[in-house]
């Protein structure tokens, strides 16, 4: 008898692949670890708050340095040389000297401020315009404002100042860079101190999370022994603790961002009032998207590292009896 083939026969259901199984297990474990955190709200909140404050301190200090650098960007003009030319030098001679200095490789630009321009600006800013109109002659000299090139070092700046001062047309060369250099040196020291402090605080976060995971492992010791007894590997048992560290780091990073943003909100009005007093457009710079993601990434990484070290170390000591 011939065998009849049914075209509508049900095909066998294929089992899920290893990647899908791995993903499903991790999703289930992550949800379970998150549930454990919510079942202990006070203890979890204390740990998250400690992590958040620890992350917010270097982030806030970094913002202070960032805003200080933003304000000091307008001080680059203080690095310019002001060459006051000798009296009696004509405007054409001053312009020719400007072109000569502008050809130097260590000079970025040269601006000529004529005596008449300088006197007009002084009249507008001093408020003595009517009194200055009675002067028989202009007492101000022509001035060259020389901006050195960005590749200059401290030694080349000193050499440039000496060479410009030895020009026969130059009367006085004025430069005031020491306070700017000291300010930037202080900022460099502060940035190095923030890096060192952030590293130490990162170690503190690892210790805090590691100790928390250690206590959690001790509380679940019997559960771990039973799980290992039925053949579970250390990696399988360690997985929920790694997810706990992940959630601690994530929530700590989010809370740290909230604390920093709230601090910036509190500073907006005082900074605006200070800017109004100085008639300046100073604004407080906030965290960029990249900086915010970096803080979150650091929090998550520290949480995973702390939980991994603690789980790996103490998991080996727990074996089924």
- Write the CA distances from 17 to 20, 24, 151, 164, 237, integer angstroms: 5, 11, 59, 77, 22
User: What does the pLDDT read at residue 136?
Assistant: 65
Q: Strand, helix or coil at 109?
A: strand
CATH, residue 169: 3.30.70.3040
The reply to whether 102 and 217 lie within a common domain is no
Same domain, 55 and 85: no
Is 9 contained in some domain? Answer: no
Please tell me whether residues 61 and 119 are part of one structural domain: no
**Distance, CA of 254 to CA of 251 (rounded, Å):** 5
The verdict on 303 and 207 lying in the same domain is yes
The reported pLDDT for the residue numbered 260 is 93
Classify residue 10: in a domain, yes or no: no
> How many folded domains does the chain comprise?
2
Return the pLDDT at 320. Answer: 62
Secondary structure (DSSP) of 79-94: G-EEEEEPTT--HHHH
Q: Which of 174, 207, 230 is the last residue of a domain?
A: 174
Of the candidates 314, 287, 289, 309, the one whose C-alpha atom is nearest the C-alpha of residue 205 is 309
23 in a structural domain:
no
- Tell me which DSSP letter residue 321 carries: -
**Do residues 175 and 161 lie in contact, with contact meaning Cβ atoms separated by under 8 Å?**
yes
pLDDT computed for residue 58 by the predictor:
92
pLDDT in tens, the chain (321 residues): 444 444 443 344 444 577 887 778 878 888 988 888 888 889 899 999 999 999 999 999 988 888 877 766 655 555 778 888 888 888 888 888 989 988 888 888 898 888 888 777 776 766 665 656 666 677 788 898 888 887 777 678 778 888 888 888 888 887 766 666 677 788 888 889 999 999 999 999 999 999 998 888 888 888 888 887 887 777 788 889 999 999 999 999 999 999 999 998 888 888 778 777 665 667 778 888 999 999 999 999 999 999 999 888 877 777 666
Residue 146 lies in a domain: yes
| Tokens at 182, concatenated | 């000291």
* DSSP 8-state class, residue 103: T
Range of the domain at 144: 81-174
Element (H, E) at 129: helix 129-132
257 inside domain: yes
The DSSP string of 6-63 is: PTTPPPPPPPPPHHHHHHHHHHHHHHHHHHHHHHSHHHHHHHHHHHHHHHHHHHHHHH
Q: Are residues 188 and 44 in the same domain?
A: yes
Rounded CA separation 15/10 (Å):
15
């Amino acid at each position: 008898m011939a065998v009849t083939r049914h075209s509508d026969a049900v095909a066998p259901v294929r089992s899920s692949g290893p990647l899908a199984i791995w993903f499903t297990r991790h999703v289930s474990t992550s949800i379970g670890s998150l549930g454990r955190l919510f079942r202990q709200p006070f203890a979890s909140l204390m740990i998250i708050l400690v992590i958040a404050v620890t992350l917010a301190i270097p982030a806030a200090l970094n913002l202070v340095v960032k805003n200080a650098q933003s304000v000091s960007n307008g001080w680059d003009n203080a690095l310019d040389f002001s060459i006051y030319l000798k009296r009696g030098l004509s405007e054409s001679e001053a312009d020719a000297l400007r072109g000569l200095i502008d050809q130097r490789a260590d000079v970025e630009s040269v601006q000529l401020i004529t005596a008449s321009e300088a006197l007009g600006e002084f009249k507008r800013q001093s408020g003595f315009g009517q009194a200055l109109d009675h002067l028989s002659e202009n007492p101000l000299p022509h001035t060259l404002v020389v901006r050195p090139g960005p590749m200059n070092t401290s030694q080349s700046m000193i050499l440039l100042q000496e060479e410009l001062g030895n020009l026969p047309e130059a009367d006085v060369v004025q430069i005031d860079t020491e306070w700017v250099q000291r300010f930037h040196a202080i900022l460099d020291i502060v940035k190095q101190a923030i890096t060192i402090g952030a590293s130490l605080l990162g170690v503190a976060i690892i210790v805090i999370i590691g100790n928390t995971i250690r206590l959690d492992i001790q509380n679940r010791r019997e559960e771990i022994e039973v799980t290992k007894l039925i053949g579970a590997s250390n990696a399988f048992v360690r997985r929920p603790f790694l997810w706990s560290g992940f959630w601690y780091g994530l929530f700590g990073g989010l809370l740290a961002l909230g604390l920093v943003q709230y601090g910036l909100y509190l500073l907006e009005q005082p900074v605006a009032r200070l800017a109004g007093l100085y008639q300046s457009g100073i604004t407080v710079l906030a965290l960029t998207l990249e900086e915010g993601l970096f803080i979150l990434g650091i929090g998550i990484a520290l949480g995973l590292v702390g939980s991994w070290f603690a789980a790996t170390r103490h998991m080996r000591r727990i074996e089924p009896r």
